[in-house]
Homo-oligomer: A and B are copies of this chain.
Amino acid sequence: MHSFKELSAKFEQQFSQRQFPEHPANLYDPAQYILGIGGKRIRPVLCLLGNELFADLEPDAFHAANAVELFHNFTLIHDDIMDKAPLRRGMPTVHTKYSDSAAILAGDVMLIHSYEHLNKIAGKYRQKIVSVFNRAAREVCEGQQLDMDMEQTAPEQVKYEDYVNMIALKTSVLLAASLQMGAICGGGSEGNQQHLYEFGKNVGIAFQIQDDYLDAFGDPDKFGKQQGGDILVNKKTFLLLKALELCNGTQRQKLHELLQTSPADKVASVLQIFRDCRVDAWAEKEKERFSQIAYEHLDAIAVISGRKQPLRELADFLLVRQH
């Protein structure tokens, strides 16, 4: 068994080799570029952790891990085009550095390459792993579409449960599927796979709630981001949507005005309303609720407790971050 850090190094060692042919350079250089600007490689390492929960590391888990990381980067390239994002990890996005056409095509070929990695998996597990991968891949596309649909909707019109569903599809199902794909490589039973999937999915949702909370209430020195960045751009977050539900008529009116007019004291004023309607306390509880579900699923996996230690530590690290 290995720690997250050790598995991360093992993954990077083989993944950092060039993934694509040299030619045509205008197709493969953009694909290689996004892999080169980093990322925490959380999904592929989850895949390896999922394997080690049940058995020694299999080469198949690396094939699955490579597929998942390529898939994730493909979605980043295409999402950045749709969102017209200029920067990713502090560097120019692929469509900014190259062109929209190059970014579309580079994303496409990365998706195809991810299936090439999956096709190397041993016959015994391949069909099931591809099926888990395909479902997550479809759901990530659905999540991105639902997110774009919500962009066009006034925040007052977005239902909280629809928002949770969108976040789960867009960000959590791939984490969950990565763990499950690893579990399949490790020979985990169907029941254990499901518990592991739900663990990953709920950690993902809890993490997103925490991320929204920290953006609003975190210490910028520790958190490393501008406080209230989401508020400044009117981003729909767990906090905003719930605040609109919890607040009284006067607060709602004031919040609505702040969203429309963006005055100089926008962040402070919105935060005051958030505090007044106690959405800060609600967010801590809601994060705790999803964390709880996640840990219950982890507990329910039928392997000895020691094997779960790296996953428990990862969840503790992700969800009890200092702020």
Contacts and interface: CB of A to CB of B under 8 A. Distances in A.
Interface in A66-95: 78, 81-82
A141 B112 contact: yes
A110 to B, nearest CB: 10
Contacts of A109: 138, 141-142
B82 A144 contact: no
A32 interface: no
Contacts of A130: 115, 119
Contacts of A26: 145, 148-149
A126 interface: yes
A179 interface: no
A127 B134 contact: no
A112 B123 CA distance: 20
A112 B108 CA distance: 10
Dominant secondary structure at the A interface: helix
A27 B105 contact: no
A101 interface: yes
A134 B112 contact: yes
A137 B82 CA distance: 23
Interface string A98-119: 0011101101110111011001
Contacts of A134: 112, 115-116, 119
Given A108-B78, A111-B108, A127 B119 contact: yes
A84 to B, nearest CB: 9
A113 B138 contact: yes
Nearest to A107: B108
A141 B78 contact: no
A141 B105 contact: yes
A75 B65 CA distance: 26
A135 to B, nearest CB: 9
Contacts of A144: 105
A110 B138 CA distance: 9
Contact of A142 (B27, B101, B142, B149): B27
21 contacts: A24-B149, A26-B145, A26-B148, A26-B149, A27-B142, A82-B100, A100-B100, A101-B148, A105-B145, A105-B148, A109-B138, A109-B141, A109-B142, A111-B111, A111-B112, A112-B134, A116-B134, A119-B127, A119-B130, A119-B131, A126-B126
The 7 closest A-B pairs by CB, nearest first: A27-B145, A82-B101, A109-B141, A24-B145, A112-B137, A119-B130, A116-B134
